[in-house]
Chain A
Amino acid sequence: ELKVEQNPLFLSMQEGKNYTIYCNYSTTSDRLYWYRQDPGKSLESLFVLLSNGAVKQEGRLMASLDTKARLSTLHITAAVHDLSATYFCAVEINTDKLIFGTGTRLQVFP
């Protein structure tokens, strides 16, 4: 059974600090997605990583994929309050079938 695990599950960090969220998965896949969910809202697509070594950046967030290690990271640089949300990674295991991770709830405080 495929497992997609995120670490940490909860992250409280101060504005201006850097941190990394990790996503480990248990089966072969070279396609991974990151999503953001604000409380009471839907999921919003952040990044699509389609090959080993892929790196994408948008603002203060950078995502990378290492398919050999079955690991993706979401790095936060100089966090701001607006980044407070829950972040999910999702692994594509068959055509159009996504399995989501447990989610990381991020809180950024002053």
Chain B
Amino acid sequence: ETGVTQTPRHLVMGMTNKKSLKCEQHLGHNAMYWYKQSAKKPLELMFVYNFKEQTENNSVPSRFSPECPNSSHLFLHLHTLQPEDSALYLCASSHGGGLNSPLHFGNGTRLTVT
């Protein structure tokens, strides 16, 4: 049990589909993150939410749309994706507010775009 739960664990979608990834944290943290992990590339920061406010959008294409309704939940809405978007999408949380604490990661969603 990592304290950060991601669903689904695996997702296969066509390029015209719309789907959403869900992340929930039970750690009382105030910051939540989306990272993309592709083969042979470093983890790429996508979005950061701090106290429900988006504080980082790392030049992510608009076909990825995050939503953070409260400090415990984070979504990543997907539409008209490309095959190169296939990757492991990791959600993470931390105390936030510059408290120098590590990120706690979920198990990720393995996304395949066909």
Query: Is the beta-carbon distance between A95 and B98 smaller than 8 angstroms?
Result: yes
- Are B42 and A101 in contact, with the CB atoms below 8 A? yes
Q: Tell me the minimal C-beta distance from A67 to chain B in angstroms.
A: 14
Instruction: Return 14 A-B CB contacts under 8 Å, by A number.
Output: A41-B107, A42-B2, A43-B90, A43-B105, A45-B102, A48-B100, A90-B43, A90-B103, A92-B100, A95-B50, A95-B98, A96-B96, A97-B56, A101-B42
Whether the pair A33, B102 counts as a contact (CB closer than 8 A) is: yes
Point out residues on B near A: beta carbons under 8 Å.
2, 4, 31, 35, 42-43, 45, 48, 50, 55-56, 90, 92, 94, 96-98, 100-108
Q: What A residues does B107 contact at CB under 8 A?
A: 41-42
Interface residues of A (CB under 8 A from B): 4, 31, 33, 35, 41-45, 48, 50, 88, 90, 92, 95-103
Q: State A41–B106 Cα separation when bound (angstroms).
A: 9
Task: Give A97 to B90 CA distance when docked, in angstroms.
Answer: 15
By a CB distance below 8 angstroms, the chain A residues around B43 are 88, 90, 100
The reply to whether A42 and B50 contact each other, CB–CB distance below 8 Å, is no
| Residue in B closest to A43 when the chains form the complex, CB atoms | B105
**In the bound complex, what is the Cα–Cα distance between A99 and B46 (angstroms)?**
11
Q: Contact: A31 with B56, CB < 8 Å?
A: no
B103 pairs with A98, CB closer than 8 A: yes
B108 engages A96 (CB within 8 Å): no
Which among B94, B96, B105 has the highest number of chain A CB atoms within 10 Å? B105
Residues of A within 8 A of B45 (CB): 97-100
Are B105 and A100 closer than 8 Å at their CB atoms?
Answer: no
A25 CB to nearest chain B CB (Å): 12
Residues from chain B with Cβ under 8 Å of A48 in the complex? 100-102
Q: How far is the CB of A47 from chain B (nearest CB, A)?
A: 9
User: Of A42, A95, A97, which is within 8 A of B106 by CB?
Assistant: A42
Q: How far apart sit A92 and B95, CA to CA, in the bound complex (Å)?
A: 14
Closest to A45 in B: B102
Residue of B at shortest CB range from A96? Answer: B31
Query: Which chain B residue lies CB-closest to A49?
Result: B100
A42-B2, A42-B108 known; A4-B42 Cβ under 8 A: yes
Chain A residues near B31: list those with CB within 8 A.
96
